[in-house]
A and B are shown apart, each in its own frame.
Chain A
Amino acid sequence: GESVGLHLPTLSVQEGDNSIINCAYSNSASDYFIWYKQESGKGPQFIIDIRSNMDKRQGQRVTVLLNKTVKHLSLQIAATQPGDSAVYFCAENMNTGFQKLVFGTGTRLLVSP
């Protein structure tokens, strides 16, 4: 598989547990946030997004929470499955006069059966 995750923080959970992956973003003017999932050997895949006028958004088994006060974003995965094992990235759209999407370095999620 690809070696992009050599130095990533890792979250290890058991199958069926709920997982929470955290992300601190840098710019208080950022107005759009995305979570991506990257499996070994594949490109990042969109999971869920949220705009800055919301603080929570739910998808299928996933919830994104946005705390603008402390510039914190989290991804909650309910009933984690082995297929959820991947690297998860947050990205922020830095709306500072021009639009720019900036990615975090990622968190590796390992799900044990």
Chain B
Amino acid sequence: EAQVTQNPRYLITVTGKKLTVTCSQNMNHEYMSWYRQDPGLGLRQIYYSMNVEVTDKGDVPEGYKVSRKEKRNFPLILESPSPNQTSLYFCASSLIQTTEAFFGQGTRLTVV
């Protein structure tokens, strides 16, 4: 089954404790991206990757890092989480940038 898998689904952490949210897709897609979703603001892109070892900033990259060492995986790293990073995060992948994006189930992150 074609899917994008994120882990964990829910995470509560403390300010400053590094964390990684994993994302994996099984569709051999080139393009992957991370979004955060906040009430009234919709989906905002954090980082994206056009292919292996090619990543770039989206609209709200501050406080986040990503890596793309393999085509299927695109982890999101918060080196020092802060409460303003409390949000719902989605990973998405698509064949290329301008085609249908498939989304993961989301990760609800709370930073206290």
Contact surface of B with A, Cβ cutoff 8 Å: 4, 35, 37-45, 88, 90, 92, 97-98, 100-106, 108
A interface SS class: loop
Beyond known contacts A36-B103, A44-B90: 11 more, CB 8 A cutoff: A2-B88, A4-B37, A43-B4, A43-B90, A93-B97, A95-B98, A101-B45, A101-B101, A104-B42, A105-B41, A106-B42
Which chain B residue has the least Cβ–Cβ distance from A32?
B98
In the complex, what residues of A have CB within 8 A of residue B106's CB?
2, 41-43
A103 CB, min distance to chain B CBs, angstroms: 4
In the complex, what residues of A have CB within 8 A of residue B43's CB?
44, 89, 103
In the complex, what residues of A have CB within 8 A of residue B41's CB?
105
Interchain CA distance A34-B43 in the complex, whole Å: 14
Interchain CA distance A90-B96 in the complex, whole Å: 19
Interchain CA distance A103-B88 in the complex, whole Å: 15
In the complex, what residues of B have CB within 8 A of residue A41's CB?
105-106
User: A44 contacts B42, CB within 8 Å?
Assistant: no
14 contacts between A and B (CB under 8 A): A2-B88, A3-B39, A6-B39, A32-B98, A41-B105, A43-B90, A44-B43, A44-B90, A44-B103, A46-B100, A95-B98, A101-B98, A101-B101, A103-B42
Q: Can you list, as one digit per residue, whether each of A99-113 has a CB less than 8 Å from chain B (1) or not (0)? A: 111011110000000
Which chain B residue has the least Cβ–Cβ distance from A47?
B100
User: B97 contacts A101, CB within 8 Å?
Assistant: yes
Interchain CA distance A100-B50 in the complex, whole Å: 12
Task: Say if the beta carbon of A7 comes within 8 Å of chain B.
Answer: yes
User: B42 contacts A105, CB within 8 Å?
Assistant: yes
A32-B98, A44-B90, A101-B97 known; A4 vs B104 contact (CB < 8 Å): no
